[in-house]
Amino acid sequence: MPPNIKISQIRCFTAVVESGGFKAAAQSLYRSQPAISVAVKELEKQLGAQLFEPGSGSRPSHYGLAFYEIARHLLNEYDRSLAQAIDTANGKKGVLRLMAVPSFARSVLPVAIKRFVADFPEVEIHISDGHTEFIRNAVLAGQTDFGFCGHIVPDQRLRFQELHRDTMGVICNKHSPLARHASLNWKSLEGERLIGNGTMNLITGPTRRHIEHASHFFVPTTTSLLAMVEAGIGITILPELIFPARNSGMMSFVPLTGPTITRKLGLLTLSNRQLGPTSKVFHHYVTTVLEQRSRGAPQPPGARR
């Protein structure tokens, strides 16, 4: 077994060599001179060799000079590793793996990530999107650290923390007669070509009868879905988080009322595992963005595209 050498002993030795004496080393380390001497003598005992020439005061021996190079390397590596460990504990370094439903990935994450990477540029981030059930399975399988998704059926293995609620509404081409309304009721969808999507599964009960026979297409991916709406092929129903500005390019969002249907969005994690330091910091950035949106605070350029 190697000797149990303390990092403080190595630091005392290098300070004597670099400062040229025990008194100067003591001053630089804010310790007493006898304490420095004791630390160096204990280090020599554990190494089994003298580090300074006898009777010379503080002139390193041949072995002392050789060991100094090793000691300096050890201290540099120790200081670097410790600083990295502290940065990781503070969330400044590490790897962030997350998933989000498309509406969240489109509207909230870009703003939160832009701010986060400006403050923590050394964090490695891996992001993917998918529907709620896909994210649920990924969290359970350990394929992602956490997910931002819709409310799930209660599961003891998972923890869901609600972060946001948004209203379901119609997304249509801005030239559609529907775009002229401040709000719509469900009966007004009759006769419209409705493009179905996975989020519409939230619509249940009597309200669903207004859309059951109206869907002529089903498009699971948000990008393709919005492209079809923009082209004027039909309308669709999505949460307001997709279009926080109500109008975006060639499309408009019109809230549906009578009844109003809301969607819960939240943070999904394993119930037996806490968020790591980096994940906790990022979670704070996300909640800040959501709070500012709810207050109607201005978003950074590009946040509403």
Asked if residue 106 lies in contact with residue 199, where contact means CB atoms within 8 angstroms, the answer is: no
* 192 pLDDT above the threshold of 80: yes
Q: What percent of the chain has pLDDT over 90?
A: 49
Q: Is the model more confident about 122 or about 305? A: 122
pLDDT tens digit string along 266-294?
999 999 888 888 888 899 999 999 998 87
Q: Give me the mean pLDDT over the 96-114 stretch.
A: 91
Q: How far apart are CA 150 and CA 108, in angstroms?
A: 14
* 262 pLDDT above the threshold of 80: yes
Residues whose CB falls within 8 Å of the CB of residue 284, separated by 6 or more in sequence, listed in order = none
Query: Between helices 33-47 and 7-19, what is the axis angle to 10°?
Result: 110
pLDDT tens digit string along 205-245?
888 777 776 666 888 888 888 899 999 999 999 988 877 55
Site of tokens 């000691």: 71
pLDDT tens digit string along 29-54?
999 999 999 999 999 999 999 999 98
End-to-end CA distance of the chain: 62
Confidence of residue 98 (pLDDT cuts 50, 70, 90): very high
Burial of 119 from C-beta contacts in 10 A (0-12 / 13-18 / 19+): exposed
What is the predicted pLDDT for the residue at 169?
92
What is the predicted pLDDT for the residue at 69?
92
Q: Pick the closest to residue 172 from 163, 180, 164, 161 (CA basis).
A: 180
Asked if residue 201 lies in contact with residue 259, where contact means CB atoms within 8 angstroms, the answer is: no
Q: Tell me the CATH number for domain 165-262.
A: 3.40.190.10
- Is 0.85 topped by the overall pTM? no
Confidence of residue 298 (pLDDT cuts 50, 70, 90): very low
Q: Pick the closest to residue 170 from 162, 161, 159, 178 (CA basis).
A: 178
Query: What is the secondary structure of 136-168 as a DSSP string?
Result: HHHHHHTSSSEEEEE-----TTEEEEEEEEEEE
pLDDT tens digit string along 148-171?
999 888 899 999 999 999 889 999
* 103 pLDDT above the threshold of 80: yes
DSSP state of 256: E
Q: How far apart are CA 148 and CA 109, in angstroms?
A: 10
Q: Give me the mean pLDDT over the 115-124 stretch.
A: 90
What is the predicted pLDDT for the residue at 214?
63
Q: Pick the closest to residue 169 from 152, 154, 183 (CA basis).
A: 183
Angle, vertex CA 110, rays to CA 105 and CA 247, nearest 5: 75
What is the predicted pLDDT for the residue at 81?
81
What is the predicted pLDDT for the residue at 300?
42
Q: Pick the closest to residue 49 from 35, 33, 66, 36 (CA basis).
A: 66
Q: Tell me the CATH number for domain 7-88.
A: 1.10.10.10
The percent helix, strand, coil of the chain (3-state, each to 5) is 45, 25, 30
Asked if residue 142 lies in contact with residue 226, where contact means CB atoms within 8 angstroms, the answer is: no
What is the predicted pLDDT for the residue at 77?
87
Q: Pick the closest to residue 265 from 169, 191, 199, 214 (CA basis).
A: 199
Confidence of residue 303 (pLDDT cuts 50, 70, 90): very low
* 297 pLDDT above the threshold of 70: no
Q: Give me the mean pLDDT over the 250-254 stretch.
A: 90
Q: Map out the domains of the chain as residue ranges.
A: 7-88, 165-262
β-bridge partners, 303: none
Mean pLDDT (the chain) is: 86
